[in-house]
Amino acid sequence: MRDFRWPPPPEGGPRVFGPGPTAPRSGRPALPQPPSDVVATPHGVGLEQVVSGAGEPVTIFAHGLANGIAGTRPLGSGVRGRRVFFHFRGHGRSDAPPGPWGYTDLARDLRSVADLAGATRALGVSLGAGALTRLLADSPERFTHAVFFLPAVIDRPRGPATRARLAELLSAVESGDLGAVADVVASELPASVRNTPAGWAYLRQRVEQLTQDGLAPALASLPDEVAIGDRSALAQVTARTLVIGCHNDDLHPTAVAEELAAALPSATLHVYDRPAVLWTARADLRDRISTFLND
């Protein structure tokens, strides 16, 4: 029987248990962690950010729930200009002010970093897409281009699958047990990637980041929150918008992507056939995003 073991192989390659091929397998390793800094915001919450590239335009990237900068950086690799990746409150080295928190707070985080950087374009993943939805509902003219990747919430709370997975991850991180954290994180990987160098590199990076920086307990209530109360507010959005979803993803239902695209004026919708898009269709995804944002 083949399975993950912790700690991973020191060389980042597969460690296979039981009969079967043992030769190295190809795969793309995770990007190394770049230096970051914590910026002071007008609302008093210090937020960690990483800046790459130079010039105009400036694009801000907002990550998903219990994820982080490392998860959004691959999405910006083909985007021209300066790229700003940041951690929401309660993630990474960002502050964790007293909760509970809602999408109003997350939109304030996003707006503050975008304003400080002079960003005119934005991409949000999952939770980040919800924060971007809230920001644009409040300020329809804030960005010229907006990408919503795997949106999970509009005006109805997320489902029980999200609550259960987040509770499991928070519990594992709180325990400090590397193996327990690795078991939860491993569920993010498609079976075809497990026990490959790319899979091990991703697993190691995620586990190290989560155990080093932790996750704020106040994140636990976010699956019960909605991004906006009335989706009709999105009819005033002036940005060009791209909504990207996928089929068969319990945490990011296809219907949410379709409904968000319908609520946004002249949005472009693309739905992938399989989940784990960053693993199964990475090149196409990056090309689709960069083509849209570079236009």
The residues, ordered by sequence, that sit 6+ positions from 191 with a Cβ below 8 Å of its Cβ are none
pLDDT of residue 10: 53
pLDDT at 23 over 70: no
- State the Cα–Cα distance between residues 156 and 128, nearest whole angstrom: 16
Hey, what domains does the chain have and what are their CATH numbers? 37-157+225-294 (3.40.50.1820)
Q: Tell me: the pLDDT tens digits for 234-243? A: 999 999 999 9
User: pTM score, two decimals?
Assistant: 0.91
Question: In the chain, pLDDT over 70 holds for what percent of residues?
Answer: 89
Name the pLDDT band for 5 (thresholds 50, 70, 90).
Answer: low
CA–CA distance from 185 to each of 23, 59, 294 (Å)?
25, 28, 33
pLDDT of residue 33: 73
Q: Tell me: the pLDDT tens digits for 216-250? A: 999 999 999 999 999 999 999 999 999 999 999 99
Read off the pLDDT of each residue in 181-206 and give the average, rounded to a whole number.
Answer: 93
Phi-psi category of 23—alpha, beta or left, where left has phi over 0 and alpha has psi -120 to 50?
Answer: beta
pLDDT at 134 over 80: yes
